[in-house]
Amino acid sequence: MTSKFRIKRPIRKIKTILFILLLYIIIQLLMSFDIINPYFQKIICYAGIMIISALGLNLIYGFTGQFSLGHAAFFGIGAYASALITRLININHSLILLVGLFIAAGLSGIIAFVIGLPILRLRSDYLGIATLGFGIIVKVLFDNADAVIPILGGSRGMLGILPLTNFSWVYLFTILSIIFLFNLINSAIGRALISVREDEIAAEAVGVNTTKYKTLGFVIGSIYAGIAGGLYAHLYAFLHPSNFDFLKSIDVLLIVVLGGMASISGSIVAATLWVFLLEGLRVILPEAILDWRLVIYPLLLILIMIFRPEGIFGKREFKFLIYQEKSNVQ
Amino acid sequence: MVYFVQQLINGLQLGAVYALIALGYTLVYGIIRLINFAHGDVFMIGAYLGFYAITRFCLPFPIALLIAMVGCAIIGIVIEKLAYKPLRNAPRIACLITALGVSLFLENFCSLKFMFGPNYLAYPRPFSVINYNLSGLTISNIQIIVLAVAVILMILLQVFVMKTKTGMAMRAVAFDKNTAQLMGIDINYIISITFGIGSALAGAGGVLFGIAYPQIHPFMGIMPGLKAFVAAVLGGIGIIPGAMLGAGIMGMAEVLTSAYVSSTLRDAIAFLVLLIVLLVKPAGLLGKSTIEKV
């Protein structure tokens, strides 16, 4: 059976690469001809950022099975850390963003490691509550950050961040995130992560170091959030602690569950839909019932959960995201 | 010293309100293992029902309290029937997301103009505030009423759960749903009753919160709801005295931090207490840790 795949695999790879490039060129062209206006460009970038963030939570919750309600905290840590660095360097060059993102990823990774090591001993709901508590503590610290570092602005919000994020960066990082996650979950590490989700005790019994893999999944997922946060900070050039509160963690959780847990395709589609629906309803709905936007959205959510509790994709993937073994049989 | 005791009394008042909300969380979690995120919003609706009963219909305080409790009980039961019952056999995360959906719905629906409106409202005091001075300590009649109502309701709940037949059925369902069903207990009825009682307590909590901290708005339920839930976990979720203990600790932690450290840090300290307790005693203060068997 594998011989067929051996021929098909490279072809599919080329097709996928072509698709990625084509999509980029099309959107870039539409932007340069002003068919997509700057407001809409920002929404597209925001969708990319939400995809990265959701993939991170999907790795933590969907693949590794660790319930986290504090994802926005790492998003915020990444956002503030990168914004602070680029402000201190203060050179308006696109490449500086990379430095910011590097710091964002590093700091959120380190904090995830320090906090994850003790709290990942907790299980299911208790872990959720502990991460929720962590998220609220981080938000309060953001609120009071100006007492230590005045530029962070505390509850007044942080101003004067260089708008370095553009569509190309977001696109690049979204694609890299997808490729990295895809390769990760189809590696030995990925199988270990999934085994932890399926049955922690059984995984431990067959020699999987569950603490190590739980922490690893949590740290990588948080790094995703940190990078997304770094991109976010330089997209809107304004940060406020309320952008990283409990409800933002919930938003990401909704995307992951709606898309389908442990489905990369699901997270991509759900994040995109979520961003465009919320913004789209703003455009479509007449002025008089604009307030109803936030009433319709939770109702949709409840209906989807009642009629399709496994999410839009379940555990399925797009064709190009299905892994096929290289054949070892000669 | 007087200042410290004064803060303890304030903490007790806040803890009493948290306890009323926390009991609803703990009852529901004990029976269907669902973190009912919409509970904080039922609390908000309770506060508004009391508000309208007092301002529009000029009803006396006890009747307003009763109306809020009954109204919330009905809302709680309806939410359970419409949103959670279809998901009885779905994965737990689906229920959780639905609960979040209900919560967002209630908040945003209630802030529509024809409902309660998005603005802050000043809560009326149905009676004038009297401060009693006990050798330096100031205790207001509001504090006495809040504490008294909370304690009475908690005693009633404890008696109901421990002494009545329905209460026994509730405990049986919490212990083992399937076996309880085999013993002829109507699970759906018990779950409805539980939601009703929990929501009624939250409604009472809402009215008490309104008279104690006189300002209400449609999103007021989020933070007290989270803190009450955390209180329930702190004490050991599913355990009624645990919820009261946890709520007391949360209230005290918050008030003492405001008094001695900084009022902007109070949420951080309250949740820090939670993290420490969870790390030392993962099942909560009064919870029994269970050994997982394969």
pLDDT category of residue A9 using cuts at 50, 70 and 90: low
In chain B, which residues have their Cβ closer than 8 Å to the Cβ of A122?
A: 278-279, 282
Number of Cα atoms under 13 Å in the Cβ half of residue A1: 2
Partners of B134 in the β-ladder: B137
For B103-129, how does the pLDDT look when each residue is reduced to its tens digit (9 = 90+)?
989 988 888 878 788 888 888 887 778
The pLDDT of residue A112 = 94
Tell me the three state secondary structure of residue B132: strand
Whole-prediction pTM value?
0.86
d(CA A128, CA B123): 34
**Cβ contact B274–A129 (<8 Å):** yes
In chain B, which residues have their Cβ closer than 8 Å to the Cβ of A299?
A: 101, 105
Dihedral of CA atoms B231, B235, B236, B237 in degrees, nearest 10, equals: -30
pLDDT category of residue B212 using cuts at 50, 70 and 90: confident
Q: How confident is the prediction for chain B on average, in pLDDT?
A: 87
The pLDDT of residue B72 = 94
Q: Nearest CB to B91: which of A125, A292, A309?
A: A309
pLDDT category of residue A55 using cuts at 50, 70 and 90: very high
The pLDDT of residue A326 = 60
For A138-166, how does the pLDDT look when each residue is reduced to its tens digit (9 = 90+)?
999 998 888 888 888 888 888 888 888 88
In chain A, which residues have their Cβ closer than 8 Å to the Cβ of B79?
A: none
B108 and chain A: CB distance < 8 Å anywhere?
A: yes
Q: Nearest CB to A298: which of B104, B262, B268?
A: B104
In chain B, which residues have their Cβ closer than 8 Å to the Cβ of A119?
A: 275, 278-279
Q: Nearest CB to B97: which of A136, A295, A301?
A: A301
The pLDDT of residue B42 = 94
For A11-32, how does the pLDDT look when each residue is reduced to its tens digit (9 = 90+)?
778 888 888 899 888 888 888 8
Cβ contact B150:B21 at 8 Å: no
pLDDT category of residue A1 using cuts at 50, 70 and 90: very low
pLDDT category of residue B283 using cuts at 50, 70 and 90: confident
Give residues with Cβ within 8 angstroms of B151, minimum separation 6.
B16
The pLDDT of residue B19 = 92
A120 and chain B: CB distance < 8 Å anywhere?
A: no
Dihedral of CA atoms B9, B11, B16, B21 in degrees, nearest 10, equals: 170
Q: Nearest CB to A302: which of B91, B102, B279?
A: B102
B270-B275-B277 Cα angle (round to 5): 95
pLDDT category of residue A39 using cuts at 50, 70 and 90: confident
User: Can you tell me the mean pLDDT for A220-238?
Assistant: 93
B291 and chain A: CB distance < 8 Å anywhere?
A: no
The pLDDT of residue A330 = 45
B261 and chain A: CB distance < 8 Å anywhere?
A: no
Q: Nearest CB to A119: which of B226, B265, B279?
A: B279
Task: Tell me phi and psi for residue B211, to 5 degrees.
Answer: -75, -25
d(CA A210, CA A214): 6
The pLDDT of residue A328 = 52
Q: Nearest CB to B275: which of A134, A246, A261?
A: A134
Q: Nearest CB to A257: which of B97, B113, B262?
A: B97
Does A172 score more than 90 pLDDT?
yes
**Cβ contact A133–B274 (<8 Å):** yes
- Lowest mean pLDDT, pick from B58-67, B102-111, B116-125, B213-222: B116-125
Site from B96, B262, B269, B277 to mutate, A interface, most A CB atoms within 10 angstroms: B96
Does B289 score more than 70 pLDDT?
no
Query: Strand B215-216 and strand B137-140: pairing?
Result: unpaired
pLDDT category of residue A222 using cuts at 50, 70 and 90: very high
User: Can you tell me the mean pLDDT for B38-53?
Assistant: 92
d(CA B136, CA B2): 7
For B168-205, how does the pLDDT look when each residue is reduced to its tens digit (9 = 90+)?
999 998 888 889 889 889 989 999 999 999 999 999 99
In chain A, which residues have their Cβ closer than 8 Å to the Cβ of B93?
A: 257, 261
A118 and chain B: CB distance < 8 Å anywhere?
A: yes
In chain B, which residues have their Cβ closer than 8 Å to the Cβ of A297?
A: 104
Q: Which residue of B has its CA nearest to A311?
A: B94
B62 and chain A: CB distance < 8 Å anywhere?
A: no
- Smallest Cα distance from B67 to chain A, Å: 26
How far CA A261 is from CA of A62, A112, A309, B186, B202, in Å, comes to 5, 21, 11, 33, 33
Does B7 score more than 90 pLDDT?
no
Q: Is the dihedral of CA A250, A256, A259, A261 positive or negative?
A: negative
pLDDT category of residue A231 using cuts at 50, 70 and 90: very high
A302 and chain B: CB distance < 8 Å anywhere?
A: yes
Cβ contact A237:A100 at 8 Å: no
- Count A/B contacts: CB-CB distance under 8 Å: 119
Site from A199, A299, A306, A307 to mutate, B interface, most B CB atoms within 10 angstroms: A306
Q: In this predicted model, which residue has the larger pLDDT, B252 or A329? A: B252
B105 and chain A: CB distance < 8 Å anywhere?
A: yes
